[in-house]
């Protein structure tokens, strides 16, 4: 096994150009950890938030980003070595995971990384590494919001805002699988994608505001947020639930007046829940949409794609040739 590896790091905050592909020392797994040979790394908003020093978050809430910093939390790969005392995994096992979140110490944009054993699940047999790497943070966010925070009930009317994005497209599928009537909100270019995932109704927000055309929703999972998030409130029935994934202006006074409860929290690493998502994938009940795939050395271009917005599913970094289909089939 080589003593060094390639990774993408930043030595200063800034735009995508600060991401540098370089050779560094390979890490060693500690007690309760394994070394993962990374085949693919999924990208998520915290990656570019950290790259910019969390400039979009109020100053008092900004985490410190130690430099040099290796972004990324989502990996799919193969166990390459075991740390002291590890019995849960064996060398050669195919695994995927959201590592150490919500800390900023995962270092997924690399050929190797260490992972706590409890953060990992066995990679779904039905998925290649590119697909599996697109699942952990977005899939666990959707799962934890719907079932841990919202406590979704079958037969409910559920509106997913930002339905074609990473969290949104998983939330749509999980809510449909749970027996809910799902309304997806996205731009018109995503309509066919979302109807294929099972939405009962589709709202093109470029033509009509969901808060103006939808009524009597039991639950809203808002994967967009922002300064006008409160515009979704008319779609929610009195006594309903609003669950924002991101920061925004939610209209707290109207929510209190109408008995609308805000439920949500911070996504966290959970290998057992990730194993449940893998089971759903292997049973054909959940799939990951791939927006685009970039080689690890082109992480800066991948971040440029992310900043363009209107992402359908996930952006993934390909680390090895064994990760999945050739790049040309993924763009």
Hey, where are the domains in the chain?
Answer: 4-137+287-329, 151-262
Task: Please give the pLDDT value at position 326.
Answer: 47
* Whether residue 248 has pLDDT greater than 90: no
pLDDT given for residue 9 in this prediction: 98
Report the CATH superfamily, name and number, of domain 151-262. Answer: NAD(P)-binding Rossmann-like Domain (3.40.50.720)
pLDDT beyond 90 at 56: no
* Alpha carbons 326 and 267: distance in angstroms, whole number: 31
What pLDDT digit, counting tens, does each position of 254-288 carry?
999 999 999 999 999 999 999 999 999 999 999 99
pLDDT tens per residue across span 40-53? 999 999 999 999 99
pLDDT at res. 61: 81
Average pLDDT over residues 61-88: 96
| Residue 204: both structure tokens together | 């093109």
Same fold, 4-137+287-329 and 151-262: no
Q: For 1-100, list the strands marked E by DSSP.
A: 4-10, 19-25, 33-42, 74-82, 94-98
Res. 327: pLDDT tops 60: no
Q: What is the pLDDT of residue 119?
A: 98
pLDDT digits (tens, 9 = 90+) for 3-36: 999 999 999 999 999 999 999 999 999 999 999 9
Per-residue model confidence as pLDDT tens digits over 120-174: 999 999 999 999 999 999 999 999 999 999 999 999 999 999 999 999 999 999 9
Which of 312, 331, 325 lies closest to 170, judged by CA?
312
- What's the pLDDT at 323? 81
- CB of 161 closer than 8 Å to CB of 223: yes
4-137+287-329: CATH topology is Quinone Oxidoreductase; Chain A, domain 1 (3.90.180)
Confidence of residue 325 (pLDDT cuts 50, 70, 90): low
Across the chain, what does the average pLDDT equal?
95
Closest among 82, 49, 86, 81 to 306, alpha carbons compared: 49
In angstroms, the Cα distances linking 182 to 41, 51, 163, 240, 316 are: 30, 34, 10, 15, 27
Name the burial class of residue 81, with classes exposed (0-12), middle (13-18) and buried (19+) by CB atoms within 10 angstroms of its CB: middle
């Amino acid at each position: 096994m080589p003593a060094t590896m390639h990774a993408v790091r930043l030595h200063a905050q800034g735009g995508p150009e600060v991401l540098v592909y370089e050779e560094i020392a390979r890490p060693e797994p500690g007690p309760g950890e394994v070394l993962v040979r990374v085949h693919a790394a999924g990208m998520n908003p915290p990656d570019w938030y950290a790259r910019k020093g969390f400039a979009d978050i109020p100053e008092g809430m900004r985490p410190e980003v130690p430099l040099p910093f290796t972004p990324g939390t989502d990996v799919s790969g193969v166990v390459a070595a075991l740390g002291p005392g590890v019995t849960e995994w064996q060398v050669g096992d195919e695994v995927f995971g959201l590592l150490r979140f919500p800390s900023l110490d995962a270092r997924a944009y690399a050929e190797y990384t260490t992972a706590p054993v409890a953060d990992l699940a066995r990679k779904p047999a039905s998925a290649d590494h590119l697909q599996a790497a697109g699942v952990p943070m977005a899939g666990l966010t959707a799962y934890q919001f719907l079932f841990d925070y919202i406590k979704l009930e079958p037969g409910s009317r559920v509106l997913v805002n930002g339905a074609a994005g990473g969290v949104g497209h998983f939330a749509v599928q999980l809510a449909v699988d749970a027996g809910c009537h799902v309304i997806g909100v996205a731009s018109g270019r995503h309509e066919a994608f979302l109807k294929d995932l099972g939405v009962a109704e589709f709202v093109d927000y470029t033509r009509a505001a969901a808060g103006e055309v939808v009524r009597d929703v039991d639950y809203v999972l808002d994967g967009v947020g922002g300064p006008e998030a409160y515009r979704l409130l008319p779609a929610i029935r009195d006594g309903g639930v609003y669950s924002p994934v991101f920061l925004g202006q939610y209209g707290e006074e109207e929510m209190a007046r109408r008995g609308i409860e805000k439920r949500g929290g911070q996504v966290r690493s959970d290998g057992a829940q990730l194993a449940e998502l893998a089971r759903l994938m292997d049973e054909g009940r959940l799939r990951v949409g791939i927006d685009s795939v970039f080689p690890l050395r082109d992480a800066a271009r991948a971040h440029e794609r992310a900043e363009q917005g209107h992402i359908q599913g996930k952006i993934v970094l390909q680390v090895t040739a064994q990760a999945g289909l050739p790049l040309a089939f993924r763009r």
